[in-house]
Structure 1
Amino acid sequence: MRPKSAPNYLAGYPPELTDKIKQMIEQGHLADWLLHKYPHQHAIRSDKALYDYVMELKQSYMRNAGLINRVAFDSTLHLTRNALGIHTSKSQVHGAKLKRKREIHVATMFKDMPPEFLRMIVVHELAHMKESEHDKAFYKLCCNMEPNYHQLEFDLRAYLTWLEITKNPLWSASS
């Protein structure tokens, strides 16, 4: 069995964009560029605060999307599985009733990221409550909740590429 290659977070983007990022990495400028663009990390530290944050966004944009039972930072989500966040929906039969439980889990690494990146991943997971596939309707919903969604996703992918290479987080609990 062949060893797995490192994930290519920038796959699918045009070469003129990916080449710029690769060049910035080679020249040692990507970290400074990201820190200049996203200088601060958010203050959400607990699962309760994350739940409140998600519910506020949900109430603003997806009022009728149903109840979310739990929201939490999850240390079992890893970049190697390409999961930065997940949403789950479980239905259980209780007597004659069908109960649905929905949960959103966000990778723990987002505790130490800029608020823009946290919002992007939360918007992504909330959009999955209405749209299960990554299709045009899904991204339209993401952009409705966060107009800068595509740029934030690209910048996050650039950061993940840098993190994969250097193993050195730009934002940390001590920042």
Structure 2
Amino acid sequence: MSRLKYLNHYPAAVTAKVENLLDRGELAGVIQRKYPTLHDIRSDKALYAYVMDLKNQYLRQSAPLSKIVYDDKLDVLHQALGLHSFVSRVQGGQLKAKNEIRIGAVFKIAPLPFLRAIAVHELAHLREKEHNKAFYKLCEYMEPDYHQLEFDLRLYLTCLEQSGPVYA
């Protein structure tokens, strides 16, 4: 498996620079200089409030969210950063639908822009289920720097996997 699995689809020139930073042990420093502070959104209650503020600001007319939590069982280094699930249940004679957002617990200790990028990504799934052009346009609407944050987040995950914690 590639050492840069989060950067598989990036050009060779980009991945070579990242490999070089990893080899010299400088990737964590680059991330720390660009994102020097961590957020203080540690509880599920605070996360719910943060994501709902984003939703109310950009997606007021979208389906309601029933749950927004950090998920300790979500293995971000092997599956996903966050998870948007749409759950349908039959209750009596009616069909009840619930939208839930789960964000990997590893992001309890991360810079706020990374948490925002994940929240924006999962909120965009309320309107667009697939990762298509409309989906990414919606992400950019909510976070104009979305693509740069996604790349930096991939660098952060690479550093976590290869070198351990970025912020001690």
Range class of TM-score, shorter chain: over 0.9
**Distance 1:150-1:97 versus aligned 2 partners, 3 A rule:** same
Normalised by the length of structure 2, the TM-score is 0.94
1:122 pairs with one of 99, 119, 141: 119
Give the structure 1 partner of residue 30 of structure 2: 33
Instruction: Check if 1:78 corresponds to 2:75.
Output: yes
2:12 and 2:4 map into 1 onto residues whose CA distance is 17
2:57 and 2:126 map into 1 onto residues whose CA distance is 14
Normalised by the length of structure 1, the TM-score is 0.90
Secondary structure in structure 2 of the residue aligned to 1:155: helix
Secondary structure in structure 2 of the residue aligned to 1:9: helix
1:67-119 CA-to-partner distances (Å, cap 9, x unmatched) read 10010000001134321110111112223332111110000000000000000
Give the structure 2 partner of residue 99 of structure 1: 96
2:148 pairs with one of 151, 154, 166: 151
2:128 is matched by which residue type in structure 1?
Answer: E
Instruction: Check if 1:51 corresponds to 2:44.
Output: no
Secondary structure in structure 2 of the residue aligned to 1:153: helix
Identical columns (%): 50
Alpha-carbon shift at residue 164 of structure 1 (Å):
1.3
Alpha-carbon shift at residue 141 of structure 1 (Å):
0.7
1:17 and 1:48 map into 2 onto residues whose CA distance is 38
2:21 and 2:102 map into 1 onto residues whose CA distance is 32
1:143 and 1:154 map into 2 onto residues whose CA distance is 14
**Higher alpha-carbon deviation: 144-153 or 4-13:** 4-13
Alpha-carbon shift at residue 171 of structure 1 (Å):
2.4
1:144-168 CA-to-partner distances (Å, cap 9, x unmatched) read 11111111111111111122111x2
Structure 1: 5+ residue stretches without partners: none
Give the structure 2 partner of residue 169 of structure 1: 165
Q: What is the total number of aligned residue pairs between the two structures?
A: 168
1:117-145 CA-to-partner distances (Å, cap 9, x unmatched) read 00000001001111111111111111111
Q: Is the 8 A contact 1:7 1:80 kept in 2?
A: no
**Distance 1:5-1:31 versus aligned 2 partners, 3 A rule:** closer
Instruction: Check if 1:108 corresponds to 2:108.
Output: no
Structure 2: 5+ residue stretches without partners: none
Q: Is the 8 A contact 2:69 2:102 kept in 1?
A: yes
1:110 and 1:80 map into 2 onto residues whose CA distance is 12
1:66 and 1:79 map into 2 onto residues whose CA distance is 26
Give the structure 2 partner of residue 142 of structure 1: 139
2:46 and 2:18 map into 1 onto residues whose CA distance is 33
